[in-house]
Amino acid sequence: MSAPTPPSPSARPGSTPSTWTDAPRLRQTVLPLLLLAGDTLMTFAGVAIAWWLRYRSRLGALGIDVPDATFGRYLPLLLLGVALLIAAFAQFGLYDARLLLRRYQSLNAILKGAAFWLVAYLGISLVLRFDPPISRLFVVLAFVCVVGLLYAWRITVHRIALRTRLLERLRRRAALLGWNEHAAALAEEIGRDPAHPFVLVGRVTSPETTPPFPSARRESTLADLGPLAELDAILAREHVDVLILTRLDLPKADMRHVVETCERNYVEWKIVPGAFDIFLSGLRLQTIGRVPVLGIEELAIKRLFSRMLKRGFDLVGATAGLLLSTPVIAVLALLIKRESPGGPVFFRQTRVGANHRPFTLWKLRSMVPEAPAADAQRQSTARHDPRLLRIGAFMRAWNLDELPQFWNVLRGDMSLVGPRPERPYHVDQLAGAIPHYLPRHIVKPGMTGWAQINGLRGDTDLSARVQHDIYYIENWSVWLDLQIVLLTFVRWRSPQAY
């Protein structure tokens, strides 16, 4: 079974305004930021109350006297404690919007983060010797106050979500592929909890019939969304966020069609492990109530704290890069105008960015002005292309034509490190030709990347380039970004760039 032609960006789920299409942005950005703001306020209130209990209430008699422990002198230590607490909560996944509907899992993350903070904060105080010194009793009181206030705040938001339309936007729309005992157990587990993070919209029927169930209670009450052959249309029509496979005895071509269709529609896919007999690496075990489900966990690069860290790295690096490269850009602009006075200095082109959003990419013009008209369907420039300017060939060899992309990074269209952005036409073509091509668009494209420093740029193996991009996304860390940036300078000149 061949995969359908990839839909245009305007036809993808999310391009039509609705409650469901706005939900991913709410879950991934808006709500985590609101929770972060509320948590910060509650955390500061908790440590401030702990200071009052330690130094202004009768509980203070239990501790050793600390001179000059006024609120003003203690304030920097309180702010440091708040920053460390928020970082610990983020590390333990508290800003995953799904936890808002899971009170006890939220409490677990709060307790883990606060316990980690208690040990780290006391350890830092012993090493750095703050003045005034940090009271151990204050730290214990802060632990109790912060956990109590933070959990009360989360419970309040949880109850508000249950009583408003926010619940509908927080719950992820899931569909089942196939129907059997495993699917029925999963549907029962989700259905019994009105605040479950998943809501089942129906089931996709597969060509083969499943064995009959031993009891009538196992019959499906879910809506039939349509056959597997119409999966592309079903995912778009129902605004499905997650497709859960309950059987793996489908033909290989059908299984490949399922995976590629989910990737093309940016839909997560998960597998109920009871549906197969072999262990699949790369998947992590989760539980939905009492039912185990294997699925791809949230990538580190997609977590709120990681995105904030990466954005901060981008802002610092792009600001420095733009300031340092401005004289170089000015000189190159003069040389471009001298060789080709009839065209602009800068070249702009539409590329596909994160979440399949188009943006305008800026470069220094390296070819004759009329070159773009004959370049619409070309993946990369051929060696010794006659349209190249002499200064253009030099810039491309040393990647100097890409210096204006520091502006794209500052704008937020790109990152310093990430997959290279492609034009919309090429994205649609490559999506059908290269397996797992579209998932590289879940992150911002980069000026440099893991594929580039490994020599995969220009006219090189596209499949290998995609594999390197996926590796980077799965294994992202700040240290990997720093390593790639440093190696970019070491391997600045690329023989594949022409």
Q: What is the CATH number of domain 171-298?
A: 3.40.50.720
* Beta-carbon count within 10 A of 352 CB: 23
Which run of H or E residues covers position 156?
Answer: helix 136-162
DSSP 194-234: TT-SEEEEEEEEPSSPPPPPSSGGGS--SPEEEEGGGHHHH
What is the mean predicted confidence (pLDDT) over 471-480?
A: 86
Task: Find out whether 390 and 318 touch, Cβ atoms under 8 Å.
Answer: no
Is the model's pLDDT at 416 over the cut of 90?
Answer: yes
Residue 179 to residue 225: CA distance in whole angstroms: 12
- pLDDT one-digit tens code per residue, 383-405: 667 788 999 989 988 889 999 99
Q: Who has greater pLDDT, 381 or 469?
A: 469
* Highest mean pLDDT (candidates 101-115, 283-297, 311-325): 311-325
What is the mean predicted confidence (pLDDT) over 236-264?
A: 88
> What pLDDT, on the 0 to 100 scale, is given for residue 217?
42
Is the model's pLDDT at 6 over the cut of 50?
Answer: no
Residue 493 to residue 498: CA distance in whole angstroms: 11
- pLDDT one-digit tens code per residue, 184-239: 888 888 888 888 889 999 999 876 544 444 443 445 578 889 999 899 999 999 99
Residue 494 to residue 488: CA distance in whole angstroms: 10
Q: What is each CA distance from 75 to 83, 85, 402, 461, in whole angstroms?
A: 12, 15, 45, 56
The half-sphere exposure of 118 on its side-chain side, counting CA atoms within 13 A, is 18
From the list 128, 151, 147, the residue with the least C-alpha distance to 76 is 128
- pLDDT one-digit tens code per residue, 329-372: 999 999 999 999 988 999 999 999 998 999 999 999 999 887 76
Structure tokens at 393: 């060939």
Which run of H or E residues covers position 310?
Answer: helix 304-339
> What pLDDT, on the 0 to 100 scale, is given for residue 9?
37
**What confidence tier does 11 reach under pLDDT thresholds 50, 70, 90?**
very low
List beta partners, residue 119: none
CB neighbour list of residue 318: distance below 8 Å, 6 or more residues apart:
406, 407, 409, 410, 416
**What pTM was computed for the model?**
0.67
> What pLDDT, on the 0 to 100 scale, is given for residue 10?
37
Is the model's pLDDT at 23 over the cut of 70?
Answer: no
> What pLDDT, on the 0 to 100 scale, is given for residue 293?
74
Residue 385 to residue 80: CA distance in whole angstroms: 57
Q: Who has greater pLDDT, 44 or 206?
A: 44
From the list 331, 325, 351, the residue with the least C-alpha distance to 404 is 325
Q: Who has greater pLDDT, 276 or 451?
A: 451
| Residue percentage of the chain with pLDDT more than 90 | 36
Q: Who has greater pLDDT, 326 or 4?
A: 326
> What pLDDT, on the 0 to 100 scale, is given for residue 33?
86
**What confidence tier does 382 reach under pLDDT thresholds 50, 70, 90?**
low
Q: Who has greater pLDDT, 62 or 327?
A: 327
- pLDDT one-digit tens code per residue, 133-143: 788 888 999 99
DSSP-derived letter for residue 282 is T
Q: Give 3-8's long-range contacts (Cβ < 8 A, gap of 24+).
A: 3/256, 3/257, 3/260, 3/261, 3/264, 3/432, 4/232, 4/261, 5/432, 6/264, 6/428, 6/431, 6/432, 6/438, 7/232, 7/236, 7/264, 8/424, 8/428
Q: What is each CA distance from 157 to 55, 392, 411, in whole angstroms?
A: 32, 57, 33
Q: Is the dihedral of CA 465, 467, 473, 475 positive or negative?
A: negative
- What is the four-CA torsion angle of 48, 49, 50, 55, rounded to 10 degrees? 90
Query: Is the bond preceding residue 132 a cis peptide, omega within 30 degrees?
Result: yes
| Residue percentage of the chain with pLDDT more than 70 | 82
Which run of H or E residues covers position 284?
Answer: strand 284-288
**What confidence tier does 40 reach under pLDDT thresholds 50, 70, 90?**
very high
DSSP-derived letter for residue 498 is -
Kindly list the domain boundaries of the chain, sorted by start residue: 19-162, 171-298, 304-490
* Beta-carbon count within 10 A of 334 CB: 12
From the list 133, 143, 150, 4, the residue with the least C-alpha distance to 73 is 133
